[in-house]
Copies of this chain bind each other. A is one copy, B any other.
Amino acid sequence: MTTGVRRRMGVEERRQQLIGVALELFSRRSPDEVSIDEIASRAGISRPLVYHYFPGKLSLYEAALRRAAEDLASRFEEPQKGPLGSRLRRVMARFFDFVDEHGPGFAALMRGGPAVGSSATNALIDSVRQAAYDQMLAHMGVADPAPARLELVVRSWISLVESTALIWLDGRRVPREELEVQLVQDFAALAAVAAARDEELAALLRGLIGNEPGDGPFTDLATRLISLAAR
């Protein structure tokens, strides 16, 4: 949004405006393809002035990433009540909203590339993963540190969610609503595979699934698998 009107902004207000402009551009093209000139022009200020607020493209990129990371982490927050399957389903919907809104920026970030891969960037991505992990443990009623096999299931499922979103972005050939449900069911499936050789995990899973309603994603999966096996 070029403002047209040149008015005096405070430092923090201007920084926030530039971050907003950057995120808006990154949502349609990879950050590598967006120049400081373009950001300056969209913000209605000169290129040197952008450098006054951010010493380089990387620092603006990192600030934009920080805001996006906070936004993403906030979407994992979900009240701890009701069936687990429905909670995860709502979180997945908000996660795919985020991926949809940030498209190319999200893809560039997760795939790495010339403008990313800095220690600050990696630390930020890790902090979002950790926020997702902490939320999952809280929803399962498990204290940190979790048992090793449970930690592995939760963390590897989070990476499955990331990669599924990335593959979805590349062509969007499967409806996202379908993937949102599928990922919730994937969690149950991966947990079941691990629980099949871990009594502690099996007991935890039984407790969680015991509260599932007949129309939830876990029951839906069980019904579908039984019908699949019967054919």
Please tell me if A100 contacts chain B, counting CB pairs below 8 Å: no
Which residues of chain B come closer than 8 Å to A173, judged between CB atoms? 148
Please tell me if A151 contacts chain B, counting CB pairs below 8 Å: yes
Identify which of A10-18, A76-84, A135-143, A190-198 touches chain B.
Answer: A190-198
Please tell me if A122 contacts chain B, counting CB pairs below 8 Å: yes
Q: Are A159 and B155 in contact (CB under 8 A)?
A: no
Give 18 new A-B contacts, CB below 8 A, not counting A185-B196, A202-B228: A112-B116, A112-B122, A113-B117, A114-B117, A151-B167, A152-B167, A152-B168, A155-B163, A159-B160, A160-B160, A178-B197, A182-B193, A186-B190, A190-B190, A192-B228, A196-B224, A197-B224, A202-B231
Q: Which residues of A contact B (CB under 8 A)?
A: 111-114, 116-119, 122, 148-149, 151-152, 155-156, 159-160, 162-164, 167-168, 171, 173-174, 178-179, 182, 185-186, 189-190, 192-197, 202, 206, 221, 224-225, 228, 231
Tell me the complex Cα distance, A118–B116, Å: 9
Which residues of chain B come closer than 8 Å to A167, judged between CB atoms? 151-152, 155-156
**Which B residue sits closest to A202, measured CB to CB?**
B228
Residue among A156, A167, A179 having the largest count of chain B Cβ atoms under 10 Å:
A156
A-B contact pairs, 22 of them (CB 8 A): A112-B112, A112-B116, A112-B117, A113-B122, A114-B117, A148-B174, A151-B167, A152-B164, A152-B179, A155-B163, A156-B167, A159-B160, A159-B163, A160-B160, A182-B193, A182-B194, A185-B193, A189-B190, A196-B221, A197-B224, A202-B231, A206-B231
A221 CB to nearest chain B CB (Å): 6
Q: Are A196 and B151 in contact (CB under 8 A)?
A: no
**Which B residue sits closest to A226, measured CB to CB?**
B196
A-B pairs, top 8 by smallest CB distance, nearest first, are: A117-B117, A196-B224, A159-B163, A148-B173, A189-B189, A112-B117, A185-B193, A156-B164
Tell me the complex Cα distance, A225–B186, Å: 15
Q: Are B118 and A122 in contact (CB under 8 A)?
A: no
A96 CB to nearest chain B CB (Å): 14
**Which B residue sits closest to A168, measured CB to CB?**
B152
Tell me the complex Cα distance, A202–B148, Å: 33
